[in-house]
């Protein structure tokens, strides 16, 4: 089984190297600097996995899975087959990073410049709005004959005079309209910038172990695990010499099926 496992890993790595072949492209950084980057297409890895699954009728799988943890990605399949009480599983996985850049478009700089201007304008208006709002409230109350009253009395007046409350809200909303307009424009510009982002994918097509994968290292894993299943529990401590010949031959045959699938 060790020999066949090594052959599977050897063929798997050949396919991973082909599926992660990099292409060059130009992208833009946030400050407008043009950068040359290299990226591979993860869909090619998915196609490779799908091809394996289509040709392994005696193995069970839940299909291709992808996990995302911030900029870290993992695309993998898990295969299982059973002979007697012996459960053989195979894990094929690729770990890579996703980096965000902007498309090569001069509008990125124009939008960022406008966003900076809008941010400054909103801060300026907000600095003026608070004293203006206080002035509007005081002037409206003065015109209605409500001056120099404590907070409790003002609360009672607002509660009893709904028309006064509505008038104040209308006046305050009017003073906030420019900020609202600018905030909407700002949000629209951020959405436009988001639509101009592209992902660049980086990996290193080398075999690593599970421990290195857990530490977020780039690379691929291809391993087998044999367990003995009894009473809904699994035991991985198996003496190969105690495996019945028929079960062992069938398990080796299933591993050979993977080798054949990888040679297609």
Q: Which has the minimum average pLDDT: 103-107, 140-144, 219-223?
A: 140-144
Q: Which domain holds residue 211?
A: 2-104+198-263
Residue 81 shares a structural domain with residue 17:
yes
116-153 pLDDT, tens digit each: 999 998 888 777 655 555 555 656 666 656 565 555 65
Mean pLDDT of 182-201: 94
Question: Where among 195, 229, 253 does a domain terminate?
Answer: 195
Residue 212 shares a structural domain with residue 169:
no
- Is residue 224, in this structure, part of any structural domain at all? yes
Mean pLDDT of 209-227: 95
Secondary structure in 3-state letters for 99-120: EEEECCCCHHHHHHHHHHHHHH
Q: Tell me the three state secondary structure of residue 219.
A: strand
Residue 98 shares a structural domain with residue 215:
yes
The pLDDT assigned to 232 comes to 79
- Is residue 111, in this structure, part of any structural domain at all? no
Burial of residue 176 (number of CB atoms within 10 Å: 0-12, 13-18, 19+): middle
Q: Which residues have a Cβ under 8 Å from the Cβ of 141 and sit 6 or more positions away?
A: 147, 149, 154
Residue 27 shares a structural domain with residue 52:
yes
Residue 140 shares a structural domain with residue 204:
no
Q: Is the pTM of this model over 0.85?
A: no
Backbone angles phi, psi at 255, to 5 degrees: -65, -35
CA distance 207 to 220: 5
Total domains in the fold of the chain: 2
The pLDDT assigned to 236 comes to 77
Across all residues in the chain, what is the average pLDDT?
86
Sign of the C-alpha dihedral, residues 149, 151, 153, 154? Answer: positive
Res. 217 pLDDT band, cuts 50 70 90:
very high
The pLDDT assigned to 172 comes to 57
The pLDDT assigned to 188 comes to 95
171 or 203, higher pLDDT: 203
- Is residue 86, in this structure, part of any structural domain at all? yes
CA distance 245 to 84: 11
What are 233's strand-pairing partners?
Answer: 230
Residue 130 shares a structural domain with residue 256:
no
Residue 251 shares a structural domain with residue 187:
no
Res. 174 pLDDT band, cuts 50 70 90:
low
Residue 84 shares a structural domain with residue 203:
yes
Question: Where among 180, 195, 210 does a domain terminate?
Answer: 195
First to last CA, the chain: 21
Residue 131 shares a structural domain with residue 258:
no
The pLDDT assigned to 84 comes to 87
Residue 173 shares a structural domain with residue 150:
yes
What are 39's strand-pairing partners?
Answer: 23
Question: Where among 195, 223, 245 does a domain terminate?
Answer: 195
Res. 264 pLDDT band, cuts 50 70 90:
confident
Q: What is the DSSP string of 136-185?
A: HHHHHHHHTT--S--HHHHHHHHHH-HHHHHHHHHHHHHHHHHHHHHHHH
- Is residue 184, in this structure, part of any structural domain at all? yes
What are 28's strand-pairing partners?
Answer: 34, 102
Residue 186 shares a structural domain with residue 250:
no
Residue 133 shares a structural domain with residue 40:
no
């Amino acid at each position: 089984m060790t020999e066949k496992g090594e052959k599977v890993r050897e063929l798997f790595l050949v396919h991973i190297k082909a599926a992660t072949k990099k292409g060059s492209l130009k992208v833009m950084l946030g400050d407008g600097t043009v950068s040359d980057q290299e990226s591979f297409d993860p869909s090619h890895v998915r196609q490779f996995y799908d091809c394996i699954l289509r040709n392994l009728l005696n193995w069970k799988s839940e299909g291709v899975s992808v996990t995302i943890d911030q900029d870290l990605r993992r695309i993998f399949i898990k295969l299982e087959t059973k002979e007697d009480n012996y459960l053989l599983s195979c894990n094929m996985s690729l770990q890579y990073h996703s980096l965000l850049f902007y498309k090569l478009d001069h509008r990125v700089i124009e939008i960022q410049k406008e966003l900076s201007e809008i941010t400054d304008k909103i801060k300026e208006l907000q600095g003026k709005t608070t004293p203006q709002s206080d002035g509007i409230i005081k002037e409206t109350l003065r015109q209605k004959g409500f001056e120099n009253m404590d907070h409790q009395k003002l609360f009672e007046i607002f509660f009893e005079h709904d028309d006064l409350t509505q008038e104040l809200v209308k006046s305050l909303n009017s003073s906030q309209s420019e900020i609202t307009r600018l905030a909407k424009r700002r949000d629209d510009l951020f959405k436009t910038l988001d639509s101009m982002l592209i992902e660049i994918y980086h990996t290193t097509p080398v075999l690593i172990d599970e421990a290195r994968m857990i530490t977020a290292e780039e690379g691929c894993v291809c391993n087998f695990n044999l367990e003995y299943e009894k009473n809904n529990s699994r035991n991985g401590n198996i003496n190969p010499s105690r495996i019945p010949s028929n079960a062992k031959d069938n398990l080796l045959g299933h591993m050979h099926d993977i080798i054949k699938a990888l040679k297609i």
